[in-house]
Amino acid sequence: MAGLHPTLARIYQGRHIASTRELDYSLNNLLPPASLTGVDAACELLEQALDAQAHILFVGDFDADGATACAVGVLGLNSMGADNVGYLVPNRFEYGYGLSPEIVGVAASRQPDVLITVDNGIASIDGVSVAQELGMSVIITDHHLPGTQLPSADVIVNPNLPGDEFPSKSLAGVGVIFYVLMALRARLRAMDWFSRRGVKEPKLAELLDLVAVGTVADLVPLDYNNRVLVSQGLARINAGRCRPGIQSILETASRTPPGLTARDLGFVVGPRLNAAGRLEDMTRGIACLLTEDVDKARELAEKLNNLNYERREIEAAMQQQASDIVSRLHLNGVLPPAICLYDESWHQGVVGLVASRVRERTGRPAVVFAPDDSGVLKGSARSINGLHIRDLLEHISTRHPGLINKFGGHAMAAGLSLENDSVEKFGRAFEHAVTDVLGEKHTPEALLSDGALNDDDLGIEFAELLRTSGPWGQQFPEPIFDDYFELIEQRTVGRRHLKLRVRRSQGKSILDAIAFGYFDNNKAPPSATTLHLAYRLDVNEYQGVRSPQLIIEYIEPC
């Protein structure tokens, strides 16, 4: 590709980028909303609600995607002249996920005319029926995969509906509601609605910082359309034009623009928002995103930061217990084809993080359960390439009727619930189902590399270029390189991390490198003088000095 650094061109080609046109992330390249099933009907209903100044209530989810989607919906409709817009998020520990009949009962006390779900609702058969019986109109905006039965909502907008012709199936929940707002603005503009009502036509691009956070945090594939959304949102954040809440969350982690990347959204902003939903109530996270008051945003961001520290402590203890259980499973030298873990002391808000780490450590699909207050087990599943975990749960549910109470999710992540005495039966069914799909022989997931870098590319210039060449993310991965290095020195940092100084074999420059969490699995420091490393090339900033640093993903002594 003409005009690109040759190594960067090679990286893009490995991600099936054939032309620099596919790297143009201008807003005018966004897919139009017209082909999104249900979007016209949703806009008609919302137009009527705006005309009548009806009470509109968003019902969100308790993760970062749901929180940002709620904020986008509220801010977007407010900007179009809606004066009576609120939001409600089910408390994970009291109501569970989605538009349940119980949460509809809570919503009813606020007397809404229109309920709009964001990042949930596609599986809420009973909840939608109850809402309609109580006289509410229901608009579902969701991106999760639908089951065999759809709820009887007035309108459903979901790119994954059967027969939907919207070209991108990877929108996050926040992306779906953003698209509804784009279509609604276009409809109102065509009707001359804004000038007739004396409402300034909103600039929806001002919401893209929220869209970027929710999209990255939810780990949806970064196809071209999502990369446009994330790139534009990042540009706003790096230009200092983001919501006070996002700015304050970044400040609590000592991250300041410019130079922020999608990784900062996924590893800094997302976890702090998620901490509210995991340990307490996501209402606090949404309030942080909605407030215009800088001091209030900082106060809320600090509370989210404290919750995130608490989450880390809980997670660390659970991770150690999970690691001990996996070690016992490995005593005969062969791990089972799937990992199912449960402990009655575990926290249901953190099981997804533990499942992700178990999956990474073992290369097996994993489900981790914890009890709720009623004794029902809440589980989170994480999958591997080639195994669609939501479809697998449906397969298990069909083969073992009544075993799973509820389930839903994506190809790589899903949630479910069981009765307390069903975990062992589920574990056996899970193993059998995985074997049915993948076969008896387990093939470890490969770590894909973009090859080796020469000494010139291992400098600060190319490291800086990589940071600005994304956004990198799910299914558009940040480049990983591999090569052989001479070990110059090593030391332990913060008890968990391995800090190295290395030199590429036959190279000249000595480089800093770090393996985060290296000692989490009780590994011994490498004793060999030559190491085969898989790594990301990043920029380290210390006391105002920026230098290249290798972030090690894999170490193999030679």
| Topology at the third CATH level for domain 330-438 | Diaminopimelate Epimerase; Chain A, domain 1 (3.10.310)
CA distance linking residue 64 with residue 76, whole number of Å: 18
For position 527, what pLDDT does the model report? 82
pLDDT at 95 over 70: no
If you average pLDDT over residues 176-194, what whole number do you get?
Answer: 96
If you average pLDDT over residues 208-230, what whole number do you get?
Answer: 95
| Residue 233 confidence class, pLDDT cut points 50, 70, 90 | very high
If you average pLDDT over residues 520-542, what whole number do you get?
Answer: 86
Residue 414, beta-bridge partner list: 381, 409
Task: Answer for the pair 234, 261: CB distance below 8 angstroms, yes or no.
Answer: yes
If you average pLDDT over residues 506-511, what whole number do you get?
Answer: 85
pLDDT in tens, 373-429: 777 899 999 998 888 998 999 999 999 999 999 888 778 888 899 998 899 999 999
CA distance linking residue 133 with residue 148, whole number of Å: 23
- Percent of the residues in the chain that have a pLDDT greater than 70, as a whole number: 97
Q: Do domains 6-15+33-303 and 330-438 have the same CATH topology?
A: no
If you average pLDDT over residues 180-191, what whole number do you get?
Answer: 96
Q: Which CATH architecture has domain 6-15+33-303?
A: Alpha-Beta Complex (3.90)
Task: Answer for the pair 376, 405: CB distance below 8 angstroms, yes or no.
Answer: yes
Cis before 258? omega within 30: yes
Task: Answer for the pair 319, 351: CB distance below 8 angstroms, yes or no.
Answer: no
For position 505, what pLDDT does the model report? 85
pLDDT in tens, 98-151: 788 999 999 999 999 999 999 999 989 999 999 999 999 999 999 988 888 999
| Residue 522 confidence class, pLDDT cut points 50, 70, 90 | low
**445 CB neighbour count, 10 Å cutoff:** 14
DSSP 36: S
CA distance linking residue 118 with residue 146, whole number of Å: 14
Task: Answer for the pair 143, 172: CB distance below 8 angstroms, yes or no.
Answer: yes
Mean pLDDT, the chain, rounded, equals 91
Domain spanning 456-557 has what CATH number? 2.40.50.460
For position 96, what pLDDT does the model report? 65
Task: Answer for the pair 166, 143: CB distance below 8 angstroms, yes or no.
Answer: no
**Amino acid in the structure at residue 484:** Y
For position 235, what pLDDT does the model report? 96
pLDDT in tens, 272-326: 999 998 888 899 999 999 999 999 999 999 999 999 999 999 998 999 899 888 8
Given the structure tokens 């949703």, which residue do they identify? 42
What is the maximum alpha-carbon separation in the chain? 75
Helix, strand, coil shares of the chain, percent, nearest 5, are: 45, 20, 35
For position 336, what pLDDT does the model report? 86
- Percent of the residues in the chain that have a pLDDT greater than 90, as a whole number: 70
Structural domain spans, the chain: 6-15+33-303, 330-438, 456-557
CA distance linking residue 430 with residue 437, whole number of Å: 11
Task: Answer for the pair 130, 61: CB distance below 8 angstroms, yes or no.
Answer: no
If you average pLDDT over residues 229-236, what whole number do you get?
Answer: 97
